[in-house]
A and B are shown apart, each in its own frame.
Chain A
């Protein structure tokens, strides 16, 4: 028989999984914190001198590696790259912010996957029979309605933990691209792939707008709360109030941003935008010594991964999505 206390703990665990990533992000980073790790700041260290195309390649290679190689290779890459954030402008702070983001992804993925992971799949992945699994918790039977497996096992948690590094490595690499390259550099790199100019233009506008979205959204939400949204609810419920306010702030924020759209359009049109089917670029981004060095590192990483996979350190089993 499932006791009242067990039920209470189950729900507590359920809420714990739900709330922690959420508190981590809002408490430690905040919406404006995201802006810091998604915005370019001028600086002059190794990453800033690398060509954007190399960093795009880095993202691709890292996802490739994380997808095909054993989990701890993804973990090493995640933390290795994260450590290299110290070389960025305000590097410690960026490492701290991204660290929290990574932590939230890990916890979120573990709690998002572990309770649902069919034990048979986990057994295949970890080469361990289900009979030797360690049950850490048994859910109330009605949790199956939520899609939960009857038991939460240590192995499910462990397997889900492994899966999380397929995502984290990509996040660390792609944020690096955004923090160390101007949108113009990234987009110019993309223009080499023959993407139509109007699409590139939309991307330029989008990239320029992302920080404005954060700022406007942040202001809109704060004003809603300042004006009494959430009434007299206790402070520990504040994150939920903020998120509920966020929903109601979509329209004023997007209208505020879209009101300026006509001016941006006129500004481009009166500077001969779309005069020809394609346009030229004044600023060139030739490959430098750093780019060749980093290309070499990427080749080594790929080669090492291939060797590792051949040695049996490949992905054990496809994960459920």
Chain B
């Protein structure tokens, strides 16, 4: 039965790790979204102006 207890602990640790990772990513996305909305509304920038590094040489 010891084996099943260790397995349960491992499963709990795994699912917790995935939950924390997923939650961190979602929180980060929401935080940047809020900052972006605030800055873009200040300067009236359109949503199309994206990657400055790539946009000037791609698709020529």
Asked if A and B bind, the verdict is no
B→A interface (CB under 8 Å): none
